Amino acid sequence: MKILLLDNYDSFTYNLKAQLERCSYGSEVTVKRNRDESVFDLDIGCLVISPGPMTWKETGVLKSLFEKRIIPEMIPVLGICLGMQFLAGYYGLKVDRISNPVHGSAVEIIHGGSRLFNNIPATFTAARYNSLGLVNIGPGIKEMNGLVFTSFEKDTGIVMSLEHKELPFAGFQFHTESFLTNAGDELISNFMEMHFEDRT
Amino acid sequence: MKIGLNSHTQKVSWDFELLFTLVEKYDGACLFTSAGDESYGKNILGINPVMTFTDILSLDRFHKENRTDSEFPLVIGHIAYDHKDRLEEIGLFGNVHEDLMPEVEFRVFEYYMIADNSDHSVLKTVKLDLPFKYKAIDPDKIFNHTPEKLKGGSSKYTGSSLSKLEFEKKVGKIRDYILSGDIYQANLTRKISAETTFSPFELALRLKDSNSIEFGVFAKYGENYVISTSPERFFKIENSILTSSPIKGTAPRSDDSDTDLSNLKELLGSKKELAELAMIVDLIRNDMNKICSDVEVEDFPIVMRLKNVYHLYSDISGRLRTGSFFEIIRALFPGGSISGCPKIRACQIIEELEGTGRGLYTGNFGYVCFNGNMDLNIMIRTLFYNKGSISFNAGGGITLLSDPQNEFIETVHKAKNICSAIGLEEIWEEKSFSTE
C-alpha cells in the first residue's frame, strides 16, 4: 500500500514517517511538501496529513487534493494536529485559539472506546503541541457536521480526536509520533487495521 | 586525488600555550576540551592549511576519494548558520547574511596533532602526503617557537544589537507567534560588540580557563579568529552511530551551596524547561529519522554543570543510513536547539526579529575523519575577533511560558563568563535592570 504523507513544513514529519513505516505492514511512505503539485498524480492508498505551523487554511494544495482525489476516491485520511484541524475546518467546525495552549508536554487523555482506541487504556498520556484547537464544543456534544468526537483532554475537555461518521477520515489533536506519547504506535496500527485489514 | 598519511608519536611535552601558539603561527585550528568523555575527548590541532573547501558537496566528493580506516581528521572547519538558506527550498528564507567569514570553510592541514589531557608528554602527530606542490613547514622548526608574551589588556563595550527593551519586546512578539499557531519555540539572540587590546592568543587562553568547556575552538583564518567556549555537541558519528545532544533549559549557579542546589532542583522540576527540551528532542528525532534508522532517546533529561549555569540536555542516537556528509548536514542543519520548532517557520521569525545574519554563531565547528567519524559542536558562547574588534551573541529559547525580563537576564547569565574573561564590564551598566 502507498501512503502519501503530506508535509506542512513541519519538524515532526519524519518521526511520523518512521512510525507509519513501523505500524502499517511495510507500506511505502512518500513524503511531499504541501506546495508540491506532483501529489495530484500520485498513486495514493492513504493520505496522512502532518502537523505543522499556522492554520488549517495555510496548507498549500491540501484542500484541492482533498476535493480532486481524496473524496471522489474515498481514500482513507489520518490527520495529526494541524491535519486534524484541517478535517475539522473543512467540515465547518470552528478552529481557533484555545484557552490553554500546551507545547511539548504530555497530558492525560480519555476516550470513549471507539474502534480507533481498541486496546488503549481508558486514560493514557500523549504529547500536545497546539495553540489552536476546536472551540465551541461544550461538554455533552458528541458529534457535529458528521464528525464524531472520540477522545478528550481529561483536565479541560478539549477535543483530542475526531472520526468521520461515514467516510474513512480520522484525526488526532495530540502527537502520536512524540517520544512523550505512550500509545502512539498502537493508535496508528488501529487506524491502519480499520481501513486496510483486508488489503494486506 | 589520493592523500597519504605518515603518523608518528612525538615525545614532546605539550600545553595549551604550545597548541595555541601553533594555531597563531600556522593559521591553524584547535578543538580543545577541558575534560572527559562527554566531549571531543581530546584536543585536536591542524596546522598549515593546504587545501580549502567552501562548499559541502565538493568536500563530500573529496572525502569519498580519501575514505580509509584512519581515525585521523581529514578536514577541520565550520558551517555558518546563514548557510541554512542553501540547504532549503529557494525562497523560504530571506537570504540574510553576515559576510565576515566564508559560510563554509573546511581546511585540509599539512599536520594534525592529537593531544590527550591525561598525558602531557605525548603529541600524536600525522603528516599528510600530498600529491601536489604546497608551502611546507620546516619540520625541525615546528616546536621551536616561544609562546607569545602575555601583555594583558582591556575590552570596551561598544553595543548590543538589541537593547534590553527591544529584546523583551521581541520575546513578546515570539509569544504572539506561538499563540497564533506559527511555532512552539524560537531562539532569540542578541549580538554584543566590543573593542579589545588583548591579543587573540591571550583571549583564547583566558576564555579556555573561563569555564569547563567541552567543545572549545581556537582557529585562525588570516586576520579572523574564532574562539569558542561551547558546551554543546551538535552531533558525532562513531562507527556509523550518530548521536546528537541538544541543550535546552538553563538555571544560574550560585556561590551559596543551598541556593545552588535549590536552583538545580527548580530546573529539574520546571515544566517550562522540560517542555523546551522535549520539543527539541522531538525535532532532533525528526531530523535524524531522515538519515538514520532505530532513532532512540537515550537519556532525558541529563544535567550539565558549568561554572556559571546549569543546563539540561538529552542524548539521541540512531544508526546512520548514509555516509555522505552533505546528506547528513542537509538533514540536520541548522541545529534545533538554536533555531526553534517547527524549524523552518522559526528560522523565518528569527530572521525577522534579529534583523541580521548570524554568521558563524550557532553554526557548527568540527572535524571529519578519513574513516567517516566526525564531531561537530554548536557554535554558541563564541567570540569572533578581527583586528581588535570582537563580538559574541547570547540568547535563549523562547516559549509561551517565557517571561521577557527573565529571558533577557538569562542572556546576561550566559554571557557572564565571556565578559569576565575578557574584562568587559560596561555591558552590565548599559543594560541595567535597576532603572525599571
DSSP B30-43: EEE-SSSTTS--SE
In B, which residues are within 8 Å of A179 by CB distance? Answer: 278, 281-282, 285, 297, 300
Size of interface A-B (CB pairs under 8 A): 95
Using CA coordinates, name the residue in chain A closest to B294: A18
Q: Do B181 and A54 touch (CB under 8 A)?
A: yes
Say which of A15, A97, A129 has its CB closest to residue B286: A15
Q: Do A103 and B271 touch (CB under 8 A)?
A: no
Q: What pLDDT is recorded for position B97?
A: 82
Q: Do B282 and A18 touch (CB under 8 A)?
A: no
Question: Which residue range(s) make up the domain with A117?
Answer: 2-199
Residues of A forming the active site: 81, 175, 177
Nearest partner of B279 among A123, A189, A175, A47, judged by Cα: A175
In B, which residues are within 8 Å of A18 by CB distance? Answer: 289, 295
Amino acid found at B132: F
ipTM (interface pTM): 0.97
Q: Do A131 and B345 touch (CB under 8 A)?
A: no
A183/A170 Cα distance (integer angstroms) = 16
Q: Is B426's pLDDT higher than 70?
A: no
Tell how strand B215-221 and strand B185-196 pair up.
unpaired
Q: What pLDDT is recorded for position B436?
A: 35
Say which of B271, B277, B400 has its CB closest to residue A101: B400
Q: What pLDDT is recorded for position B42?
A: 87
Tell how strand A46-49 and strand A2-7 pair up.
parallel
Say which of B276, B336, B345 has its CB closest to residue A53: B345
Instruction: Indicate which of B176, B280, B286 best probes the interface with A, i.e. most A CBs within 10 Å of its own CB.
Output: B286
Cis peptide before B334, with omega less than 30 degrees from 0?
yes
Q: Do A132 and B295 touch (CB under 8 A)?
A: no
Are A40 and A77 within 8 A, CB to CB? no
> Minimal Cα–Cα distance from A1 to chain B, Å?
21
Q: What are phi and psi of B416, to 5 degrees?
A: -55, -50
Higher pLDDT, B212 or B50: B50
Q: Which one-letter DSSP state was computed for residue B342?
A: S
Contacts with B397 (C-beta within 8 Å, 6 or more apart), sequence order: B185, B186, B187, B248, B276, B280, B337, B340
Contacts with A117 (C-beta within 8 Å, 6 or more apart), sequence order: A111, A150, A151, A187, A190
Q: Per residue in A154-169, pLDDT tens?
A: 999 999 999 999 999 9
> Minimal Cα–Cα distance from A199 to chain B, Å?
27
**Given CB atoms, is B180 within the 8 Å cutoff of chain A?**
yes
Q: Do A129 and B279 touch (CB under 8 A)?
A: yes
Say which of A13, A17, A180 has its CB closest to residue B278: A180
Q: Counting beta carbons within 10 angstroms of the beta carbon of residue B375, is it exposed (0 to 12), middle (13 to 18) or buried (19 or more)? A: buried
Q: What pLDDT is recorded for position B144?
A: 86
Q: Is B2's pLDDT higher than 80?
A: yes
- The per-residue pLDDT of chain B, averaged, comes to 92
- Residue B39 banded pLDDT, cuts 50, 70, 90: very low
**Given CB atoms, is B336 within the 8 Å cutoff of chain A?**
yes
Are A66 and A88 within 8 A, CB to CB? no
Burial string for A163-176 (b: 16+ CB within 10 Å, else e) reads bbeebbbbbbbbbb
Q: Counting beta carbons within 10 angstroms of the beta carbon of residue B352, is it exposed (0 to 12), middle (13 to 18) or buried (19 or more)? A: middle
In A, which residues are within 8 Å of B182 by CB distance? Answer: 53-54
Read off the C-alpha cell for B228: 569558542
The helix (run of H) or strand (run of E) holding residue B224 is: strand B224-230
pTM (two decimals): 0.95
Domain count for chain A: 1
Contacts with A183 (C-beta within 8 Å, 6 or more apart), sequence order: A120, A121, A124, A126
Q: Per residue in B204-243, pLDDT tens?
A: 999 999 888 999 999 999 999 999 999 999 999 999 999 9
Please give the average per-residue pLDDT across A50-78, as a whole number: 98
- Residue A85's CATH number: 3.40.50.880
Q: What pLDDT is recorded for position B72?
A: 93
Q: Per residue in B242-300, pLDDT tens?
A: 999 999 998 999 999 999 999 999 999 999 999 999 999 999 999 999 999 999 999 99
Q: Is B37's pLDDT higher than 60?
A: no
Q: Do B180 and A131 touch (CB under 8 A)?
A: yes
Q: What pLDDT is recorded for position B1?
A: 77
Q: Do A11 and B399 touch (CB under 8 A)?
A: no
Q: What pLDDT is recorded for position A200?
A: 46
Please give the average per-residue pLDDT across A75-91, as a whole number: 98
Instruction: Indicate which of B93, B187, B248, B282 best probes the interface with A, i.e. most A CBs within 10 Å of its own CB.
Output: B282
B418/B422 Cα distance (integer angstroms) = 6
Q: Which one-letter DSSP state was computed for residue B317?
A: E
**Given CB atoms, is A189 within the 8 Å cutoff of chain B?**
no
Q: Counting beta carbons within 10 angstroms of the beta carbon of residue B121, is it exposed (0 to 12), middle (13 to 18) or buried (19 or more)? A: exposed
Are A111 and A185 within 8 A, CB to CB? no
In A, which residues are within 8 Å of B274 by CB distance? Answer: 104-105
The helix (run of H) or strand (run of E) holding residue B177 is: helix B164-179
Higher pLDDT, B320 or B356: B320
**Given CB atoms, is B271 within the 8 Å cutoff of chain A?**
yes
Using CA coordinates, name the residue in chain B closest to A55: B181
